[in-house]
């Protein structure tokens, strides 16, 4: 078992390294057209998943998207307000956890992990709401919780739909 884990780790490490080299080579070839952060992250994440079985492709693709949106969302312009900046970075981070948990609910089969994913969704949504309330920001409209995998595929509204940057606190 340990040998299997080590060989998968080496393979993943190699895939990430290959993605980084490909990105660096493209940047060196044309430095004026640097890849966006989203393109860079997608390349790194996708490279690590290339050796995955085909039946996992949809799940992994959703997770690459979730991680990319999360990292791009966490890239903020500092506002001069530490509290505002903290929430501006943490809300996309929490939304990334929600998106990954929804992918588990759509594709996973282990009932214990599915229950954990449901808990993650509820807890992270509550924390996003608490951060917005602490800053005096409006909450997004309420929507019914998905109760079937097909509901998740319809795409529930994202908790990050209300921007958090450049919002002034009340005195």
> What distances in angstroms separate CA 123 from CA 16, 19, 101, 128, one per listed residue?
31, 34, 11, 9
Q: What is the pLDDT along the chain (171 residues), one digit of tens a residue?
A: 444 444 444 444 555 555 556 656 655 666 567 677 778 777 777 777 778 888 898 999 899 899 999 999 999 999 999 999 999 999 999 999 999 999 999 999 999 999 999 999 999 999 999 999 999 999 888 877 665 555 655 554 454 444 444 444 444
Who's near 63: CB < 8 A, 6+ residues apart? 45, 100, 103
Give helix then strand counts, H and E, for the chain.
6, 0
Instruction: Answer for the pair 117, 105: CB distance below 8 angstroms, yes or no.
Output: yes
Report pLDDT for 86: 97
Q: CA dihedral defined by 156, 161, 164, 166, rounded to 10 degrees?
A: 180
């Amino acid at each position: 078992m340990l040998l299997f884990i080590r060989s998968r780790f080496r393979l993943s490490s190699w895939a990430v390294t290959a993605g980084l080299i490909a990105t660096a080579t493209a940047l060196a070839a044309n430095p004026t057209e640097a890849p966006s952060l989203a393109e860079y992250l997608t390349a790194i994440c996708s490279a690590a998943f290339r050796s995955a079985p085909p039946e996992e492709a949809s799940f992994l693709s959703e997770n690459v998207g979730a991680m990319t949106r999360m990292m791009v969302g966490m890239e903020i312009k500092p506002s001069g307000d530490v509290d505002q900046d903290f929430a501006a970075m943490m809300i996309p981070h929490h939304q990334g956890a929600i998106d990954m948990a929804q992918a588990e609910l759509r594709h996973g089969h282990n009932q214990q992990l599915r229950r954990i994913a449901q808990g993650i969704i509820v807890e992270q949504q509550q924390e996003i709401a608490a951060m917005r309330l602490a800053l005096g920001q409006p909450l997004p409209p309420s929507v019914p919780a998905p109760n079937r995998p097909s509901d998740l595929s319809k795409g529930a509204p994202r908790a990050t739909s209300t921007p958090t940057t450049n919002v002034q606190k009340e005195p």
